[in-house]
Amino acid sequence: MGVFSFKGGVHPPYNKDLTNSKSIVPANLPKELVIPMSQHIGAPCEPTVAVGDNVKEGQLIGKSTSFVSAPIHSPTSGKVKKIEERLHPLSKKVLSVVIEPDGENEKVYMEPLGDDPAKIDAEKILERVKEAGIVGMGGATFPTHIKFSPPKDKPIDTLILNGCECEPYLTADHRIMLERGNDVVLGARMIAKVLKVKRIIIAIENNKPDAIEELKSLSSPYDIEVVATATKYPQGAEKMLIKALLDREVPSGGLPMDVGVVVSNVGTSAAVCEAVRDGKPLIERVVTVTGNAVKKPGNFLSKIGIPIASLVEQAGGVEGNLGKIIMGGPMMGISQPSMDVPIMKGSSGILLLQKEDYMTLDFRACIKCSFCVRVCPVHLLPSTLSIIGEAKKWELAEKYGVNDCIECGSCAYVCPSKRPIVHFIKTTKAKLREIKAMEKK
Amino acid sequence: MEKEISKVIVSTSPHIKSNETVSKIMLSVIITLLPAVAFSIYLFGTYVLLMYVVSVATSVISEYIVVKLRKRPFTLNDLSAVVTGILLVMVLPPKFPIYGVIIGAFVGIVIGKQIFGGLGHNIFNPALIGRAFLAAAYPVHITTWVAPRIGKISAVSGATPLAAMKFGGVVTRNLPLFLGTVGGSVGETSALLLIVGSIYLFIKRYIKWQIPVSIFITVAVLGEIFHLINPVKYPGPLFHLLSGGLMIGALYMATDMVTSPLTGRGCVIFGIGIGTLVIVIRLFGGLPEGVMYSILFMNAFVPLINRAKPRIFGTEAVHEK
């Protein structure tokens, strides 16, 4: 079998050996958990509990009546201490439920639906995915039940489970595939049942041969293809993955369902499995705590709401001259001003980096080296977009396809002038949205 | 720990950067030019070394003065002024007067680059702007050649192989052309050393490879066509490739990142344009050599070429309006 790949992309130092042999260990609970009512793309939830209430693990604490939303559950048993605005990883304050764990570990899970997809109604699985508050755990945090209910005119023929984990440093998905491969495979079969698809592909970058072997053997009784893709960033971007595996291009402005595909992260698949089989809502996730400013990097099974400071402490604490706190990976993660923010459903990693020279915010004029043009996986002219963005010519940027940018950061990674290309592009997109909103009024 | 946290940097992703820098690219260009530079000093004598020193010094000082006057951030460490200084001498005749070198370097840096806003904003190759100015200002000096210290002196005393061909109908053999033991501008004569030097730039992809390749192919094909039409009057493709400023032009001047197109396809158009103009000027123009003007001419088209966008992922045809 040839190696599946795409045109463009970069090869940053992966640094996965810091944690890829570290088994997932459950993280200890700190004195308080902070659970933001917005952990997904879509409408925020309203708290369904009040200060002083006793809650149990798995109890619903937030929901929304909006279509695009996902309910939120208490990660542990304890007492609601406060309901107030707290710092959110997207650098804004968001209404959050603060829970003080009582250490009793009392659970109220939903009714288990069994472990044989053939015997469970597709509708029941879908309903369970919704009730369990599952969102895309690769970082996009789009409510999963919506992704799994495409409109009738978009027939789906293939489910791709994304185990590429192309972001450097992160190994959470890798460990999930190794340690919870059965859940991943069972979850995939459940999702396939919902989508009524025959073809299931599990895609893993070829730098994880052990995970490929493990999933191949676990999925051998079923009609599931496990394929190795090239190790190249951003192989795990769904547009690139679909192109590599099926040679289909998601149309500009479109979604994978437009080409008959649903892509789901392997962690999401494991979460679907737990929700259906065990009745367990999405209240915890695997988080890689890593980087050269962390004493003992590792993979943690963290409850949602644990402040990252607590996880870092459990990973041995900070070492050296801390330069950056990043939630997510180094290429697309969000840099944080402090460690007070909590782990959310989409937090795949906490990355602490030593202060380095390149972190300076200085940059030069574009020298048209075209390195960025070569690596752009969606074939844009990032250099031109950065110049247009710098000159604040928002409308011109639209003609150069700025909205097609997937913000993977390959361009800014290779730029010898160290231009913050993604920053310029994000700003341009935001300005264009503002202009569109103004025009509507 | 609080103290450390207060110092963390918050910025947009990505949070890691490759180790490529502008200075590193320029330093690589300088190092890969050194074999040809050393050979030129050997070939034409120590006066050439003086030219290099003066040209580089003038370039750096001019850049420094302009940057200070414009109150711009200090950019000398990008080494681009050094590259301009070296390249200018490489395309000048070996006995060019020192005051001319100073003027050329000054014009190249100030008018060729800084007036446009500095490195990255210039439209034309600064070294070639310097040379073009000198060609207009000192038409005699710019065509006064000296014989190399080694190799056969061509029939027309001290003339370059191209001039010998154009005005004397004498075609220099390919081996000395390839090795560089012929008359010509200071650093342009040895195709061998220029090619060897540029290999590293190809490997590191500091050169947009489509440019030299399309220039070579265009020159070879057109050269061959005219050679077939009239073998007595027009020399063969190898002569065109190895003589004059073609090698240094195609490998080091046309490939100047700032003044060449962004996309591979754009670079091919750019290269074909240069190659065609070179042949037209050499065979039908009044001058024996046309590499400099061909590159400058095509530099002017780069902003236009760059308006052609590649097909964006997930779109049918080229994205227009």
Domain check: are A71 and A154 in the same one? no
At A194, which CATH number? 3.40.50.11540
Distance in angstroms (rounded) separating the CA atoms of residues A218 and A213: 9
Contact A335 B9 (CB under 8 A): yes
Between the two ends of chain B, the Cα-to-Cα distance in Å is: 52
Domain check: are A135 and A229 in the same one? yes
Distance in angstroms (rounded) separating the CA atoms of residues A158 and A259: 9
- Integer CA distances (angstroms), B282 to A436, B165, B240, in order: 55, 10, 9
Alpha-carbon A107 to chain mean position: 26
Interface of A with B in 144-173 (CB under 8 A): 168
Interface of A with B in 292-321 (CB under 8 A): 317-318, 321
More confident residue, A441 or A363: A363
Domain check: are A230 and A350 in the same one? no
Secondary structure letter of residue B140 according to DSSP = T
Domain check: are A300 and A321 in the same one? yes
pLDDT digits (tens, 9 = 90+) for A217-238: 999 999 999 999 999 999 999 9
Interface of A with B in 69-88 (CB under 8 A): none
Contact A378 B262 (CB under 8 A): no
Chain B, nearest residue to A357 by Cα: B17
Backbone angles phi, psi at A247, to 5 degrees: 55, 40
A349–chain B Cβ distance below 8 A for any pair: no
Distance in angstroms (rounded) separating the CA atoms of residues B288 and B270: 22
Residues from chain B that touch A387, judged by Cβ atoms under 8 A, are none
Domain check: are A337 and A413 in the same one? no
Q: Which of A351, A361, A401 sits opposite B11 (nearest CB)?
A: A361
User: Where a domain ends, among A244, A277, A310?
Assistant: A277
Contact A404 B314 (CB under 8 A): yes
pLDDT digits (tens, 9 = 90+) for A165-208: 999 999 999 999 999 999 999 999 999 999 999 999 999 999 99
Residues from chain B that touch A361, judged by Cβ atoms under 8 A, are 9, 11
Residue A289's nearest CA partner among A301, A300, A278 is A300
Does some domain include residue A412?
A: yes
Does some domain include residue A38?
A: yes
Domain check: are A41 and A167 in the same one? no
Contact A404 B22 (CB under 8 A): no
- Total domains in the fold of chain A: 3
Supply the ipTM of this predicted assembly: 0.90
Q: Which of B259, B309, B314 sits opposite A251 (nearest CB)?
A: B314
Percent of chain A with pLDDT over 70: 100
Does some domain include residue A131?
A: yes
Does some domain include residue A14?
A: no
Domain check: are A173 and A267 in the same one? yes
Contact A423 B1 (CB under 8 A): no
pLDDT digits (tens, 9 = 90+) for B99-158: 999 999 999 999 999 999 889 999 999 999 999 999 999 999 998 888 888 765 544 445
Tokens 């097609």 correspond to A404
Smallest CA–CA separation between B90 and chain A, in Å? Answer: 23
Domain check: are A325 and A385 in the same one? no
Domain check: are A105 and A161 in the same one? no
User: Where a domain ends, among A277, A300, A321?
Assistant: A277
A140–chain B Cβ distance below 8 A for any pair: no
CB A229 within 8 A of CB A203: yes
- The range of the structural domain enclosing residue A401 comes to 371-440
More confident residue, B280 or B160: B280
Name which of B1, B5, B8, B26 to mutate to probe chain A: the one with the most chain A Cβ atoms within 10 A of its Cβ: B8
Across the range A256-261, mean pLDDT stands at 95
Domain check: are A344 and A420 in the same one? no
At B271, which amino acid appears? G
Cβ atoms within 10 Å of B66's Cβ, excluding its own: 18
Percent of chain B with pLDDT over 70: 93
CB A281 within 8 A of CB A58: yes
Does some domain include residue A9?
A: no
Give the mean pLDDT of chain B. Answer: 90
Distance in angstroms (rounded) separating the CA atoms of residues B267 and B299: 11
